[in-house]
Structure 1
């Protein structure tokens, strides 16, 4: 009871502290929702702003957000709780020059534009994906700026604006801070990795998206059994929303495989250690496939479950979504009814003679802006925007 009380006390105290700041102290505000922690996706941006002695505020609705342990005086962190009603009231009265977040659908649910101040709203992508299929139709309509990962997003957003006669947003060629961070982390690892588990078996990572028709919820148990029977070490990394919304499937998987020494359930989704140590990645429509391919420069096995088309009008845009067009270029697509062939396909696909590395490097360089420099480019744009609002 004391713990619960302390969390609520902190929530109220932090909101009060934030609201008492001078406007200059809260010019740049980041917001992290509870289900997808923002920090890994904006760490490069925040670091660049810190290098320029620029103060930022970071609001979070997750009591597990690693940035709550931050000690940097230029980054002020505030825990504002996860009550939808309280968040709605807070954001309606927000005073800040800029709010940056990875949460789409601004204005549609509990996060709405401020009624009391001309805040500039910025969307940062937390995954390398299209804008017009996996998001809802109006997901980005109320944002002022979009910090885009690659050219395909700019093409999609401009086509959407034209189709629905929307006001043009400020679309910025930024890149992916997460990809930059992971590439830098991988460069410190040994050049020749064996990808073996402690049991001296090839480590296979299953990291899907979430939803009733996605990999884990539909064929997860069957797939894990096939891989274990084939002699692999299997790590299952559920999507955070699967952990939150589908605890039953997590329980079933644990009951079936928990005692197997060649099985691991990894729920630490803020860590990317498993990405680097995996011989192969099996996924569905999750953006982790792009991260694995573009960072580890290794192919991906995609199980062809039904696609996530939250926007039923996406075909009107007239552009093939990035995640559809790229799958067979950076890996192999396996039909659900053929998952028993996956062990065989792993041994073929990941053979060094297939030379996927050079092919993936070229696709990555063509698909992502400013590789290695996204933090600097994005920080420049943030400072430009708030300077104009001075």
Structure 2
């Protein structure tokens, strides 16, 4: 009880501290759902500081967000939690521009404020807008920073279908992809006789790879002599912790297995030869950023909008499965070890395809931060 009260008090303090900022200094706000989301804002922040010297107010729902203790230059940081204080924050927000990665504005308890706020949505995945998101996920934003042509095509098709107001759609790109590309680690890693490493990075939900198959997806890889890093989605830890605990307990003494629950997990990404996934957007980041292949396990599609076929556009994550790797049926999981070894050994052949798709699917590769920063600054009153 006292722990909960203390947490609520800290959230109340954060909200009050935000409200004490003079209105003329409340021009641009970043809202982060959790500590793992900064990677999507970072390139924009860097460009805002380097090219525009624009200060930001950073509001986070993660109590353990490192930016609370060590805010970056030009940033003031505030903690509001994810309960009643967050609801109150949104309901009373008075700023020029709010940039956020959380969809479903206005659909549930998070509403637009009565003040004249410009709500800009920042995509935190390359995947399409109309299958794995709820139908109205993006309807109530004023502008959307789009990863590629697919986001514009899908958004305009929905607006036309339902006679919705036209939003400002910015040809933005994808900051996390830019950061992966900056590593210069494209192509297969040098192994020098060490075993190949597989990054298991599925999505979450009742049809997710871990939730449905757990050990059956990991065991063939370990048995084939591969190193395995399991990077579960944070929602899997919340909704299906027993599945993760079962895998970890089974391999607690296996040196070739590692669980990585770091919210960023960039090191695991860069060091892996191949990814095993399902419908996760992480697969597109891995393939397009590192030009390495993906094994897609054919679990049922992740669908939060059952009417997604109505706009007549195939989601990009469906296209990607045919072009960035191979699809393995769930009744062939026992073959994953051999499949992974063969793909990793011949991974160079996937490089050119991934590079080509990146050029066609993503705007402003390497320059997304500058594009977004210039747009956001133009909105400040």
TM-score of the two chains, using structure 1 as the length reference: 0.93
Moved over 6 A (4+): 1-5
Match of 2:24 in 1: 24
Distance in 1 between the 2:166 and 2:379 partners? 16
Uncovered stretches (5+) of structure 2, i.e. residues with no partner: none
Distance 1:195 1:171, change over 3 A: farther
Instruction: Give the direction of change, closer, same or farther, for the CA distance of 1:364–1:192 in structure 2 (3 Å limit).
Output: closer
Q: Which residue number corresponds to residue 267 of structure 1?
A: 261
**Does structure 1 retain, via aligned residues, the 8 Å contact 2:292–2:348?**
no
Residue 346, structure 1, aligned to residue 328, structure 2 = no
Deviates more, 1:281-290 or 1:247-256: 247-256
CA deviation after TM superposition for structure 1 residue 37, in Å: 3.4
Alignment root-mean-square deviation, CA: 2.0
Displacement of 1:204 after TM fit?
Answer: 1.2
2:107 alignment partner in structure 1: 108
| Shift of residue 339, structure 1, vs aligned partner | 1.5
Which has the bigger relative contact order, CA under 8 A and spacing at least 6? Answer: 2
- Note if contact 1:237-1:269 (Cα within 8 Å) is conserved in structure 2: no
**TM-score (norm: length of structure 2):** 0.95
The 1-side partners of 2:38 and 2:204 are apart by: 21
Measure, in 1, the Cα distance between the counterparts of 2:186 and 2:363.
27
Structure 1 counterpart of 2:176:
178
Equivalence for 2:89: 90
Matched with 1:332 is 326
1:154 and 2:152 aligned: yes
What is the aligned partner in structure 1 of residue 56 from structure 2? 56
- Residue 166 of structure 1 pairs with residue 168 of structure 2: no
Q: Does 1:138 align with 2:136?
A: yes
Structure 2: distance between partners of 1:321 and 1:166: 21
Contact kept, 8 Å, 2:293 with 2:324, in 1: the verdict is: yes
* Length, aligned pairs only: 380
* TM-fit CA distance, 1:299: 1.0
Given that 2:288 and 2:358 are in contact with CA atoms closer than 8 Å, whether structure 1 keeps it comes out as yes
Sort the Cα spacing of 1:304 and 1:226 in 2 relative to 1 into closer, same or farther, 3 A. Answer: same
Q: Which residue of 1 aligns with 2:76?
A: 76
CA distance in 1, matches of 2:335, 2:246: 24
- Residue 82 of structure 1 deviates from its aligned partner by 2.1
Does residue 311 (structure 1) correspond to residue 311 (structure 2)? The answer is: no
Does structure 1 conserve the Cα–Cα contact (< 8 Å) formed by 2:36 and 2:263?
no
Alpha carbons 1:32, 1:101 under 8 Å: kept: yes
Maintained 8 Å contact 1:32/1:102? yes
The CA distance in 1 between the partners of 2:210 and 2:196, in whole Å, is 20
**Structure 1 residues 61, 126: CA separation in 2 closer, same or farther (over 3 Å shift)?**
same
